[in-house]
Structure 1
Amino acid sequence: MKVLIVFAHPEKQSLNHSLLEVTTNYLKEKNHEVKVVDLYAEHWKAGIDQDDFLNHDRGTRLYAMRDSGSAFSAGMLSEDIKEAQAKLEWADLIIFQFPMWWYSMPALMKGWIDRVLTQNFAYAGGKEFKNAPLAGRKAFIISTVGVTEDYYTKGKLGEIDEVFFPIQHGTFSYAGFKVLPAIIGYNADSRKSNCFEITSKIIKERIDNIDNVKPIYD
Structure 2
Amino acid sequence: MQVLIVFAHPDQRSLQASLLKVTIASLEKHGHTVKVSDLYAMNWFPNITESDFPNHEAGTRFQPIRAAAEAYTASSVSADIAAEQAKVMWADMVTFQFPLWWYSLPAIMKGWMDRVLNKNFAFFSGGEGTKGPLQGKKALIITTLGGSQHYFSSDGMMGDISLTLHPIQKGIFRFLGMDALEPVVGYDADSRKPDCYEKTSQLIQERIASLDEISQ
Task: State how 1:81-92 maps to structure 2 within 5 Å.
Answer: 81-92=81-92
Task: State how 1:1-40 maps to structure 2 within 5 Å.
Answer: 1-40=1-40
CA distance in 2, matches of 1:197, 1:12: 18
CA distance in 2, matches of 1:128, 1:38: 30
- Aligned amino acid, residue 61 of structure 1: R
List runs of 5+ in structure 1 lacking aligned partners: 214-218
Q: Residues 84-138 of structure 1, C-alpha deviation per residue, up to 9 Å, x if partnerless?
A: 0000000011110110000101000000000000010011124634301110010
* Paired position in structure 2 for 1:162: 163
Asked if the contact 1:19–1:200 (Cα under 8 Å) also holds between the matched residues in 2, the reply is: yes
CA distance in 2, matches of 1:86, 1:128: 22
* Paired position in structure 2 for 1:105: 105
CA distance in 2, matches of 1:193, 1:162: 28
* Paired position in structure 1 for 2:205: 204
- After TM superposition, the score normalised by the length of structure 2 is 0.95
- Aligned amino acid, residue 5 of structure 2: I
Q: Residues 69-97 of structure 1, C-alpha deviation per residue, up to 9 Å, x if partnerless?
A: 00000000000000000000000111101
Q: Residues 190-210 of structure 1, C-alpha deviation per residue, up to 9 Å, x if partnerless?
A: 122411111111111111111
Query: Which segments of structure 1 move beyond 4 Å, counting only runs of 4 or more?
Result: none
CA distance in 2, matches of 1:126, 1:33: 34
Aligned residues: 214
CA distance in 1, matches of 2:87, 2:98: 19
Asked if the contact 2:119–2:125 (Cα under 8 Å) also holds between the matched residues in 1, the reply is: no
CA distance in 1, matches of 2:118, 2:109: 15
Q: Give % identity.
A: 49
Q: Which moved more, 1:153-162 or 1:35-44?
A: 153-162
CA distance in 2, matches of 1:185, 1:127: 33
Q: Which moved more, 1:83-92 or 1:154-163?
A: 154-163
Helix, strand or coil at the partner of 2:150: helix
Tell me if 1:63 matches 2:63: yes
- After TM superposition, the score normalised by the length of structure 1 is 0.94
